[in-house]
A and B are shown apart, each in its own frame.
Chain A
Amino acid sequence: MRNPVSMRKTPSRKRRSFIALIVLLALLATVPGYVSSYTVILITNILMYVVLALSWSIFSGPTGYISLASAAFFGTGVYASALLSSDLPLPVVIVIGGIGSFVLAFFVGALTLRLKGMYFTMFTFGLVELVRNSVHWWEVNMTGTVGRLIISADNMTIFYCMVGIFVAVLVVSYLIKRSRFGLALESIGESEEAAAHSGVNVTMVKSVTFAVSAFFMGAAGATMCMRWTYIDPTTAFSIQYSFMPVLMAIFGGMGHLYAPITGATVFSILEELLTTKFPYYYMLIFGLIMLAVILFMPHGLEGVIEKGRKKAMRRSAVGT
């Protein structure tokens, strides 16, 4: 298996992470009570990236297929919300946005997931452009406008919706990880042929997982749409929503659930700091950080932590 350390997980450690989670959720639930509305918006933004990074690693973590299609699913959610939010209550809109992305991802996955490695990446990279250009063309030729005005919801509602999606994606990732389904995914990542020969319906498992991860991206998009007053295809399908989750998940690592969460939190706070302090150089600095991370921390924060822990264990073993 990929993570020998995680196999030796003791019950006490499991309980510890459970308690940490409860504390985190309690903090999140009460946070709007004692922080400024700016902080609430900031946390909503962080949670959005956490949801994107976590759902990205549901599929790409175990299988090793690098998907750059997140923006397509996020944007689908945004548009579902833009079309429906004036008629339907927000939770329903969010679920519909998720289902829209789920269906899109399932079809795309069933068609293209037999492409190996980089060809799949190239394909997903193009998918964003395809959907964006199609929506743009439709809006210009059929509805006669490029953008749409949104009647935005208040920050609290959006915040609690995002917390809800975060909890859902966390629970689903955990359940997938410890189920037979997750085991099938792992085996696909190790060797696809071997998995197929052991009776795993490879295409089905991959497509369903891809679609599940897209569901949460669409849900996040549908929620975030309500924070904006105006959307157009360029903002909704911005390629940044494809790049950032990958970067955050890689930065954090993908072996444990905490890793993409940490990666997304660190990076979105970094983004916030850089955009306010250095608005002109922000993307430049960001690119340099990205290069440095890939060069010096190929296994992410998680890799650094595991290395440190192993070193500490060896030291204590020598001591006794």
Chain B
Amino acid sequence: MVVKFLDIAIGGLLTGGIYALIAVGFGLQYGVARVLNIAHGEFIMLGAYCTWTLFTSAGVTPLVSMLFCAPFFFAVGFVIHRIFYTPLRTASESAAAFEGNSMLASFGLLFVVQNLALIIWGSPVKGYTYLAFPIHVLGAVFSTNRIVTLIASIILGSAFYVFLVSTRTGKAIRAAAQDPVAAELMGVRINRVLALCFGFGVMMAALGGLLLSMTSVMLSPVMGMQYTLIAIIVVVLGGLGNIKGSFIGGFILGLVGYVVSSLQPGLSMVAYYLIFLFLLLVRPTGLLTK
């Protein structure tokens, strides 16, 4: 009984780490850059596929390919913002109009990315095994790769937190999150900062996908959507742009998912959604906000 309980608790935490990382990225894009990025999950999918390709064709281990993937996807996100969202922001009459338009643009992005992946990698599911040997944690058994993903996502999340708090660029991002107009008046190069945020968001998504692919998840070009939904729910749980909140939200969602899928597989998405519904009605600004 105790072992079963521990199994569920730790299993939930392990899944939650990745959810948190994905949600931090989503929160940056919506909270600061004001882009409700429906295509967020597609970059998770891309990150997972790139890792798969590097691992199976060149033998690069996932943790090493992080060194390539992080800067590459950051650049991709930065360029996407520069090409689409920067002009869209300048052309939109109001902040609300930009939110609507940018969300619609992210649909277009979703179609493009998903179908590029379909053309490059094809529709049959793919997967690989990496660090799949068992490890005993307090009597329960887990595969090593899942523990590695939890540690990696905590390190990445903390590193980003430190970046936000202690660098000048981090300060500019926080200023832009509070009030983009005032930040611009204070000399923040707002378009550059927003593009940076979008780039970081895409990077987090790709790294989330990279970690996800390590845990023997089956990869397919249409896998992204469910993670977009998870990111949205975690962000609502933890509060927008709140890194600590995202981690707590991620762990809660991971736990709930683990419990529900051990009782009734197939209903975990329904459970997530009911939490989401309940939260939106009771505390639309998140659990941790005052």
Contact = CB atoms under 8 A, between A and B. Distances in A.
A288 B97 CA distance: 21
Interface string B160-172: 0000000000000
Contacts of A64: 96, 100
Contacts of A137: 264, 266-267, 270
Nearest to B111: A287
Interface stretch (A152-160, A200-208, A277-285): A277-285
A164 interface: no
A318 interface: no
B87 A283 contact: no
Interface stretch (A15-23, A39-47, A112-120, A223-231): A112-120
- Secondary structure of the B side of the interface? helix
B266 A294 contact: no
A129 B226 contact: yes
A139 B227 CA distance: 24
A122 B114 contact: no
Nearest to B281: A111
A129 B273 contact: yes
B143 to A, nearest CB: 27
A120 B107 CA distance: 17
A133 interface: yes
A126 interface: yes
Interface stretch (B16-24, B56-64, B228-236): B228-236
Interface string A229-243: 000000000010001
A66 interface: yes
B272 to A, nearest CB: 8
B85 to A, nearest CB: 10
Interface residues of A, number: 40
B107 A284 contact: no
B270 A133 contact: yes
A127 B118 CA distance: 26
Contacts of A246: 104, 107
B119 A281 contact: yes
B276 interface: yes
A130 B269 contact: yes
Contact of A129 (B91, B113, B229): B229
A298 interface: yes
B141 interface: no
B121 to A, nearest CB: 13
| Candidate in B88, B107, B116, B269 with the most chain A CB atoms within 10 angstroms | B107
A130 B84 contact: no
Interface string A94-136: 0000000000000000011001011101110111011001101
B266 A140 contact: yes
A82 B99 CA distance: 38
A137 B274 CA distance: 15
Interface in B99-134: 99-101, 103-105, 107-116, 118-119
Contacts of A130: 269-270, 273-274
Given A129-B273, A137-B267, A284 B112 contact: yes
A117 B107 CA distance: 17
A295 B87 contact: yes
Query: Nearest 4 CB-CB pairs, A to B?
Result: A287-B111, A290-B108, A287-B112, A291-B108
Interface of A: 64, 66, 111-112, 115, 117-119, 121-123, 125-127, 129-130, 133-134, 136-137, 140-141, 239, 243, 246-247, 250, 280-281, 283-284, 286-291, 294-295, 298
6 contacts: A125-B232, A126-B229, A280-B119, A283-B114, A283-B115, A288-B112
